[in-house]
Amino acid sequence: MAAAVYDAVVVGAGSVGTPIAMHLAERKLKVLCLDQFASPGQGSNKAAIGGLRATHSAPAKIKLCLDSIRMVSTWKEMHGTDIEWFQGGYVFVAYREEEARKLKDLLVLQKQAGLDIEWYEADDLLKLVPGLRAEGLLGGTYSPQDGSASPMLTNAAFHRRAQGLGVEFRFNERVTSIMRRKGAVVGVRTDKGGYATACVVNAAGAWAKALAATGGQDAPVNPDCHEAGITEPAARFLKPMLVDIRGEPGSANYYFHQSANGQVIFCITPEPPMIGTDRRETSAYLPMVARRMVGLLPKLTNLKVRRTWRGLYPNTPDGSPIVGPSRTLEGYVNAVGMCGQGYMLGPGLGALVARLITGALAEGDAEILRELRPDRDFAAAEALK
């Protein structure tokens, strides 16, 4: 093992690992962050479309994302870096009774968890989103606190702040094993050396399962592929992120928003899932999502698409993250299985994990950790995953 001893080693410098490292350093820990790629955010972060919503159906995710939004929305004011935050809200539309019932039923839980959200009847929703297809529209939910920002700029801002606080980042370095002795973490070994630590945080995203196995742990995280795209820029015509949860052959849902620079950025959830780590885009994606988007908002018809790409969703069986310490390996902490929502969960989750590791849990943290604990039964799937 190398002579240097770290208070914590975070594996992964993406949407989750970078803010964890930053928050740990804010608490004066000596932190090493390792990543197999060449620079921060080169795993799933660079494929994210930038949505930041607390509009979930699981209380833990709502509370974590509310923390994320508070952090991201004040980042420029607090730290002077523009990360292109735009608070346009999220709209979930309903054109069928089954979606309307689901969205209305969730309002009680969402409000209890602290979310500012209301049901809008069709006429009011059309005022909020001019140009939305009126035919068959029943209404939808609107959460004005939600918004979007640039995943690349956000991760770069967190990385710079973490470095300034003393976090050591090492890139192009893959962890090959989590070193153990008498049921406790003692370090990590990589393809370039070894590092001593009593605490390892698994924030490896789509590669979390393989990393966990090197320490004799199980992480039921299996990535599938989602495709996204971006158009040419246009003058602002769309304020909220639009989400349509109707399932159709080939896709379960789709969602899109207009970025701070005017481009429309969009993504679709394939059905059945495309399991695996193949990040090559397909020819079927763009015709499928374009038809659905134009059907929802016809004014998109003449916008030109600049490019498409695929990213990985590290999914868990129930659609919620796995967060917390292992019961069988002291010093091993899970921060895995974000299910494609690592960018929106990362800032709030990073602060939670830092409080967990330093023994400074705040009010409500224990409840979140119980909901996301690694040894849960994964029986109940999140409705808006």
Residue 281: the pLDDT is 86
What class is the 86-145+222-315 domain? Answer: alpha beta
DSSP string, 237-300: ---SEEEE---BTEEEEEEEEE-TTSEEEEEEEEES--BSS-----TTHHHHHHHHHHHH-GGG
Residue 1: the pLDDT is 40
Residue 382: the pLDDT is 73
Which residues in the chain show pLDDT less than 70?
1-4, 383, 385
The domain 5-50+152-221+318-371 belongs to what CATH superfamily?
A: FAD/NAD(P)-binding domain (3.50.50.60)
Question: Tokens 């909220």 label which residue?
Answer: 240
DSSP string, 247-259: -BTEEEEEEEEE-
Question: So where are the chain's domains?
Answer: 5-50+152-221+318-371, 86-145+222-315
The whole-model pTM stands at: 0.96
Instruction: Specify whether the CB–CB gap between 188 and 180 falls below 8 A.
Output: no
And the tokens for 5? 């001893």
Residue 76: the pLDDT is 97
Q: How far is it, in rounded angstroms, from Cα 283 to Cα 279?
A: 13
15: nearest Cα among 57, 43, 37, 38: 43
Q: Return the bridge partners of 264, or none.
A: 258
Q: Which helix (H) or strand (E) holds 86?
A: none
30: nearest Cα among 227, 172, 179, 165: 165
pLDDT by residue (tens digit) across 251-301? 999 999 999 999 999 999 999 988 998 888 888 899 999 999 999 999 999
Buried b (16+ CB within 10 A) or exposed e, 178-187: bbbeeeebbb
